[in-house]
């Protein structure tokens, strides 16, 4: 029986495939020209993502067959946002479980994400919020310009987190239109713009707010 809880970080327990692929990709990145590496990596990554989604759909069918209604519901929510997310299924399931824990325990407050990329995690949290009778606002913030260049503060032991390479400027880019598309089946949205470093309080009857942070 697993001893993991909703608070455990899934990235502390990477899959065998990830443990094998990561050092290989890091080695290729060091020895290959960047253009050659990108020509190999991105098509392979797209194929990997499609394969993961196909395998995940089989997990949903198995959960339904075995009568795991709650598990199937969670996986169906995750599957809906996978194509909009840069996060893998373990991270999405973890996000769902944390949001569901907040809802189940009636913890007051809003769901907030700072940096939504293409809106996968935002749509997942919004699904959890909208499935509950209690009102819970969702605030999703992004510059929609991608990441800035990494600074010295972003590096630890020569790495920016667990990425294969330091993420260049513009990485994790999503557009307001992409995020709106991923959220549109859930609720009407209120879009606003707030200059970076300032705060703004407005009342809105909508449950979901997409806010553009401007310089």
Here the CATH number for the domain that contains residue 197 is 3.40.50
Question: For residues 170 and 134, which has the higher predicted lDDT (pLDDT)?
Answer: 170
The boundaries of the domain holding residue 154 are: 10-214
In a domain, 4, yes or no: no
> Edge-to-edge strand order for the sheet containing 111-114?
111-114, 138-142, 208-214, 189-195
In a domain, 170, yes or no: yes
| pLDDT at position 89 over 80 | yes
Distances from the Cα of 172 to the Cαs of 46, 71, 100, 134, 147, in angstroms? Answer: 15, 29, 26, 32, 6
In a domain, 93, yes or no: yes
In a domain, 124, yes or no: yes
| pLDDT at position 77 over 90 | yes
In a domain, 2, yes or no: no
Q: What is the largest CA-CA distance in the chain?
A: 55
Which structure tokens are listed for 208?
A: 């979901």
Mean pLDDT of 163-183: 82
| pLDDT at position 192 over 60 | no
In a domain, 35, yes or no: yes
Element (H, E) at 190: strand 189-195
Please give the model's pTM, rounded to 2 decimal places: 0.79
In a domain, 68, yes or no: yes
Domain count of the fold of the chain: 1
In a domain, 155, yes or no: yes
| pLDDT at position 101 over 90 | yes
Q: What is the C-alpha to C-alpha distance for residues 201 and 99, in angstroms, rounded to an integer?
A: 23
| pLDDT at position 86 over 90 | no
């Amino acid at each position: 029986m697993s001893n993991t809880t909703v608070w455990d970080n899934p990235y502390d327990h990477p899959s065998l495939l990830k443990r094998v692929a990561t050092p290989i990709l890091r080695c290729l990145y060091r020895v290959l020209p960047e253009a050659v590496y990108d020509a190999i990596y991105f098509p392979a990554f797209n194929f990997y993502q499609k394969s993961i989604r196909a395998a995940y759909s089989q997990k949903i069918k198995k959960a339904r067959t075995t009568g795991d209604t709650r598990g199937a519901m969670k996986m169906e929510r995750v599957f809906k946002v996978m194509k909009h997310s840069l996060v893998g299924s373990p991270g999405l399931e973890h996000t769902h479980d944390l949001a569901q824990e907040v809802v189940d325990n009636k913890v007051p407050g809003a769901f907030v994400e700072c940096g939504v990329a293409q809106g996968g995690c935002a749509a997942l949290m919004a699904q959890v919020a909208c499935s509950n009778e209690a009102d819970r606002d969702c605030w999703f913030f992004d510059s929609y310009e991608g990441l800035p260049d990494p600074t010295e503060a972003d590096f630890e032991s020569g790495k920016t987190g667990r990425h294969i390479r330091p993420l260049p400027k513009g990485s994790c880019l999503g557009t307001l239109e992409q995020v709106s598309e991923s959220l549109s089946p859930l609720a009407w949205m209120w879009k606003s713009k707030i200059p970076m470093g300032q705060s703004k309080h407005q009342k809105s009857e909508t449950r979901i707010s997409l806010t553009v942070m401007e310089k």
